[in-house]
């Protein structure tokens, strides 16, 4: 079976990665970022070590992030504030900054933005800056990838913009999500129940893949 991460075309456009704690989703996301994207910002809300290891800049303020980009750092870990309200304010500033750069350089794709805890940054039924990134990011050359272990709580606006999804073993609470988006997760339950196994869903069909 081919290494999925070597099939770069499979990860064009916006995407979503989900799975329960310990399923392998964050490690997958960090390796995807390292191996597939020339420049990325990873919003590491859970302070995951796997993310820190693949980054060459580690910042916690927008000013420091600007400085990292100016100094041509291409793998940036952004650690948001512990206070949720302040973290959302930071993300709003980040979104505006990236849109401003994208408007100025007018590139088809100049950066990938990866955001963990998407259910907090883009909760279902509410406006959010992360929704705006998924809706308008492409016109500013920004590819977006969201991560969450609670997909049923993530904004449908965000999810409807995704061209692909990577799904690891998920808890029973995720069942409404699989039903709503017609994802054949339970047909592959035996597969994903194996350690770090997952499926790739393109909106039509699902393919099984072993650990990376």
pLDDT given at position 2: 61
**Global confidence as pTM:** 0.95
CA–CA separation, 209 vs 212, rounded Å?
A: 8
Nearest 5°: the CA angle 75, 80, 85 is 150
Instruction: State the chain's mean pLDDT as an integer.
Output: 95
Please report how the helices 62-70 and 84-105 are oriented relative to each other, as an axis angle in degrees rounded to 10: 30
Q: At 4, is the pLDDT very low, low, confident or very high (cuts 50, 70, 90)? A: confident
Output the DSSP codes for 126-169: S--HHHHHHHHGGGGTEEEEEEES-GGGB-HHHHTT-SEEEE--
The residues pairing with 113 across neighbouring beta strands, listed in sequence order, are 41, 144
Question: Which range of residues forms the domain containing residue 96?
Answer: 4-209
Query: What are 12-25's pLDDT values in tens digits?
Result: 999 999 999 999 99
Q: Which helix (H) or strand (E) holds 198?
A: strand 198-201
Domain count, the chain: 1
CA–CA separation, 167 vs 92, rounded Å?
A: 27
Q: What are phi and psi of 184, to 5 degrees?
A: -80, 50
Residue 8 has pLDDT above 80, yes or no: no
Q: Where are the alpha helices (DSSP H) in the chain?
A: 25-36, 49-54, 62-70, 84-105, 118-121, 129-136, 156-159, 175-180, 189-192
Q: What are phi and psi of 194, to 5 degrees?
A: -75, 150
Q: Is residue 71 classed exposed, middle or buried when 0-12, 13-18 and 19+ CB atoms within 10 A define those classes?
A: exposed
CATH of the domain at 142: 3.40.50.300
Q: What's the mean pLDDT in 171-193?
A: 95
Q: Which helix (H) or strand (E) holds 15?
A: strand 15-18
């Amino acid at each position: 079976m081919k290494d999925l991460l070597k099939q770069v075309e499979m990860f064009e456009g916006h995407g979503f990665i989900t799975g329960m704690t310990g399923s392998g989703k964050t490690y997958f996301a960090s390796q995807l970022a390292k191996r597939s994207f020339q420049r990325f910002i990873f919003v590491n809300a859970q302070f995951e070590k796997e993310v820190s290891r693949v980054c060459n800049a580690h910042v916690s303020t927008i000013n420091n992030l600007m400085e990292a980009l100016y100094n041509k750092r291409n793998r940036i870990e952004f650690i948001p504030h512990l206070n949720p309200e302040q973290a959302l304010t930071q993300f709003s500033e980040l979104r505006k900054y990236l849109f401003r750069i994208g408007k100025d350089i007018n590139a088809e794709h100049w950066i990938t933005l990866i955001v963990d805890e998407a259910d907090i940054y883009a909760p279902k039924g509410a406006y959010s800056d992360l929704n705006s990134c998924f809706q308008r990011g492409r016109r500013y050359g920004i590819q977006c990838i969201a991560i969450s272990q609670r997909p049923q709580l993530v904004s449908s606006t965000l999810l409807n913009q995704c061209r692909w999804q990577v799904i690891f073993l998920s808890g029973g609470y995720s069942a409404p999500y699989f039903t709503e988006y017609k994802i054949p997760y339970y047909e592959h339950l035996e597969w994903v129940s194996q350690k770090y196994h997952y499926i790739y869903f393109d909106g039509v069909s699902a393919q099984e893949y072993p650990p990376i």
